[in-house]
A and B are shown apart, each in its own frame.
Chain A
Amino acid sequence: MLKDITIGQYLPGNSVIHRLDPRTKILLIVAFLIVLFTVGNFAGYLALALFLFAVNKIAKVPFKMLVKSLKPLLFFVIFTAVINLFLTRGEPIFKWGIITITKEGVRLTIAMSLRLIFLVIGTSLLTYTTSPIVLTDGIESLFRPLSKIGFPAHEIAMMMTIAIRFIPTIIDETDKIMKAQSARGSDFESGSLIHRAKALIPILVPLFVSAFRRADDLATAMECRCYRGGEGRTKLKAIKMKRIDAGAFLISAAVFAVVIVMNWL
């Protein structure tokens, strides 16, 4: 069960997409998301789908991994789809008792579902092709201009790096604790909702205790190595924009422009 979490999972590779500067990828993802929410017709969705497909092909991310990243969202997509389908007012095309389905409802449902799915695939492509450390470096660099007005860019990036770094550790630990409590007869799989919620206490308490212990140890270790925040700190691997980044910007800009123009066609 815990092994299904794909957030922040990086698939090492050496494709063009992998080699792009993290800032390029982050900025393009943001642009992609904006364009995605302005799309007004199905030709636009088709164009974006082709774009995602092409990026996916170049990055050589297995199709299975994309499907896997969509899995946790399935419930959310279905939930919003149902809400949109039954609660949107407009021209009715189907009526049965109190249930009314409208033309606008169908349109909105399909559009919202596609948006959510594209959103997840787009961001998954980012995390699959960018190692978490590089990604936070990119975020730090993008937010650095804001540090002039007091925005803690370095601190936030550091916190993200640490958080991401500890996801596998915590998953591992949860697995261990669950096994240890199962060995003492804990039962997480059956019983009423309240019973199951109660069964989580023996997992959560030790998990929190150990997370605090780890945090404490890490803070001490960082201080021992004279960590004092971002000021004047240099990087072993500085990130650098290259020619492929310019290419990526141009191609994506062209695609996004076409999609936006299609809105008026």
Chain B
Amino acid sequence: MHIKVENLVYKYMPGTPFEHIAVDDVSFEIKKGEFVGLIGHTGSGKSTLIQHLNGLIKPWSGKIFVDGVDISDKEVKLHELRFKVGIVFQYPEYQLFEETVKKDIMFGPKNMGLSDEEAEERAREAMNLVGLDHSLAEKSPFELSGGQKRRVAIAGVLAMQPEVLILDEPAAGLDPHGRNEILSRIEYMHKEKNMSIVLVSHSMEDIARMAKRVIVMKEGKIAAEGSVHDIFKKGESLKEINLDVPQIKRLTDELRRRGYDLPDDIYTVERAHEEILKLFEMEHHKV
């Protein structure tokens, strides 16, 4: 599934003294099977932007094409679009409502018109995908821990088997363990299911580790767009919009400045680990 956004503008409360342009003339594309990172300072319009992609809010002007079809077209059933473009909102655990975990995850598939058996099958698969133990299926979602609730909520979206998955800060407020779990599940879905993923995050580390392409937003506009390297090599311009490079990049930059021969495109701890070990081995051989 291919999403194309053209000159999108969205205003909050147009025509009142409180008018505010949240998304200002934004154009971009998400290709099939891509992993796109969306970063930006709080209030830069990321969350508003993603809500357009499945028709939850209508643009003030501009167009959105999903697989070449304009979604503002009256013929397009937004209802069906939402099953193909899944959005996991910030703190999605606050949307849980059913008596049992399984029923909650089945909510989406049932809305798609699937039978009970099919919906249950989907719920089982989704629980596997997010790594939830099946013994939890009959528990109340309100009894679970924060990380488990988050996974139930994500499973609730995954059970619709969307072709594009958009996640708004999926790891916010989780402990490091929960964070890693969620993120590696997202990576797994991207690789194994070839799902297109849009990851909205404040964590440069997560974006550097997972995204292939990064879109930077600033005051409703796209400030920069490119590969992880394109974006993070310009550390200074990121600082200007209150963003930063991954911490490990700062460390390796400092090491480079002090004369260590490290490459300038290290953005993840794993890679830094590798490169520094390589450096040690070379020193060792010299001696």
Q: Which A residues lie at the B interface, using CB under 8 A? A: 3, 173, 176-177, 179-187, 201-202, 205-206, 209-210
Question: When each residue 88-119 of chain B gets 1 if its CB lies under 8 Å from chain A and 0 otherwise, what string results?
Answer: 01001011110000000001100110000000
Q: Which residues of B contact A186 (CB under 8 A)?
A: 107, 111
Nearest neighbor of A199 in chain B, beta-carbon distance: B111
B44 at the interface (CB under 8 A from A): no
Cβ contact within 8 Å between B94 and A185: no
Q: Which residues of A contact B234 (CB under 8 A)?
A: none
Question: Which residues of B102-150 have CB atoms within 8 Å of chain A's CB atoms?
Answer: 107-108, 111-112, 142
- Centre residue among A184, A202, A206, A209 by max chain B CB count within 10 A: A184
- Chain A contact residues: helix, strand, loop or mixed: helix
Min CB distance A264 to B, Å, is 46
B54 at the interface (CB under 8 A from A): yes
CA of A210 to CA of B270, assembled, Å: 39
For chain B, which range describes its interface: under 10, 10 to 19, 20 to 34, or 35 or more residues? Answer: 20 to 34
Q: Which residues of B contact A206 (CB under 8 A)?
A: 94-97
- Centre residue among A181, A182, A201 by max chain B CB count within 10 A: A182
Q: Which residues of A contact B56 (CB under 8 A)?
A: 179, 182-183
Min CB distance B15 to A, Å, is 10
Nearest neighbor of A189 in chain B, beta-carbon distance: B79
- Given A185-B83, A185-B112, A180–B97 Cβ distance below 8 Å? no
Min CB distance B277 to A, Å, is 44
Instruction: Given contacts A3-B13, A184-B95, A185-B111, list 8 more A-B pairs with CB under 8 A.
Output: A177-B94, A180-B92, A183-B56, A183-B82, A183-B89, A184-B111, A206-B94, A206-B95
B211 at the interface (CB under 8 A from A): no
Q: Which residues of A contact B107 (CB under 8 A)?
A: 184-186, 202
Q: Which residues of B contact A205 (CB under 8 A)?
A: 97
B160 at the interface (CB under 8 A from A): yes
Q: Which of A3, A183, A209 contacts B54 (CB 8 A)?
A: A183
Q: Which residues of B contact A209 (CB under 8 A)?
A: 94, 97, 142
Cβ contact within 8 Å between B156 and A184: yes
Q: Which residues of B contact A210 (CB under 8 A)?
A: 94
- Given A179-B51, A179-B56, A209-B142, A187–B79 Cβ distance below 8 Å? yes
